């Protein structure tokens, strides 16, 4: 389905039980809503008990790119406008990596709209200078060498080394999502991520239930960072996902879903 959200055409799915507790999924960069729909994935695990909404963030997947000028603030505006469009007053929000950045900022700006939050392989701190320089290098790589080269390089960091052997089809699907993304959208999102605000000051005041799910082999955002975030959030739960890197929901969906389903059941 598609809808005009904040003057931009946005692609989304709205499935499951329409009268049940809504769960909104926000994908990571540079993927699409389909990362939640892999065989044995999250939409499959929850479609029988909840209303599920997953959408392509502006510039990603089948959502409109526009001028390619993005900020995380725009992404938060889109999330809230999407919920308004679907008449969702309050949702459980699940965000991975970039999706977690969006979810945390949305919680900071609109705490009454989020009933509970699941933060997957993400963090509250902004990019360090080193990370900003790396994003700049990625923009140069995309412009000089193209999306395929960037996709191949990026995939080396977002899944655990063994996942290339144990989950080859999933790895190929994820890489294909990157390769299909327009260069202007890739570059625009990299700038947005480098410029995002620091949401760590709000962690201590979070009242909503929080579940942190994190791949034990995440090479982009370390498990130590997940543990540090857990300590700052009152009553937050943390579950490390074994045999998984940054894409923990795809690399070990069985373990990921066990914790996710239990948390959502307790907070629906």
State which residues form the domain around 72: 2-267
At residue 153, the pLDDT reads 96
Q: Global pTM?
A: 0.98
Number of domains in the chain: 1
Residue 3, strand partner residues: 10
Q: What is the pLDDT of residues 174-224, one digit of tens each?
A: 999 999 999 999 999 999 999 999 999 999 999 999 999 999 999 999 999
The Cα 247–Cα 174 span in angstroms is 10
SS3 content of the chain, % helix, strand, coil (to 5): 50, 20, 35
At residue 244, the pLDDT reads 98
Question: Which stretches of the chain drop beneath a pLDDT of 70?
Answer: none
At residue 56, the pLDDT reads 98
At residue 173, the pLDDT reads 98
| CATH code for position 207 | 3.40.50.1820
At residue 217, the pLDDT reads 98
The Cα 101–Cα 197 span in angstroms is 9
């Amino acid at each position: 389905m598609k809808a005009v959200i904040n003057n931009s055409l946005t692609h989304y799915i709205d499935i499951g039980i329409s009268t049940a507790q809504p769960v909104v999924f926000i994908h990571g960069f540079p993927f699409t809503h389909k990362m939640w729909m892999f065989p044995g994935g999250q939409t499959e695990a929850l479609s029988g008990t909840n209303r599920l909404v997953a959408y392509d963030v502006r510039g990603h997947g089948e959502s409109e790119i526009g001028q390619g000028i993005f900020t995380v603030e725009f992404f938060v505006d889109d999330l809230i406008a999407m919920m308004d469009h679907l008449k969702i007053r309050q949702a459980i929000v699940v965000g991975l990596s970039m999706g977690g950045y969006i979810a945390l900022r949305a919680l900071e700006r609109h705490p009454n709209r989020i009933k509970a939050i699941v933060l997957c392989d993400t963090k509250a701190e902004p990019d360090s200078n080193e990370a900003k320089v790396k994003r700049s290098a990625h923009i140069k790589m995309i412009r000089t060498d193209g999306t395929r080269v960037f996709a191949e390089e990026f995939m080396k960091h977002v899944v655990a080394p063994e996942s290339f052997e144990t989950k080859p089809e999933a790895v190929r699907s994820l890489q294909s999502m990157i390769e299909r993304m327009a260069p202007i959208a890739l570059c625009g999102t990299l700038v947005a991520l480098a410029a995002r605000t620091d949401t760590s000051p709000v962690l201590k005041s979070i009242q909503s239930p929080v579940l942190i799910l994190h791949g034990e082999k995440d090479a982009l955002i370390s498990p130590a960072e997940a543990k540090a975030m857990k300590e700052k959030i009152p009553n937050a739960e943390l579950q490390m996902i074994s045999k998984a890197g940054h894409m923990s929901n795809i690399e070990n969906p069985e373990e990921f879903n066990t914790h996710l389903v239990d948390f959502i059941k307790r907070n629906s």
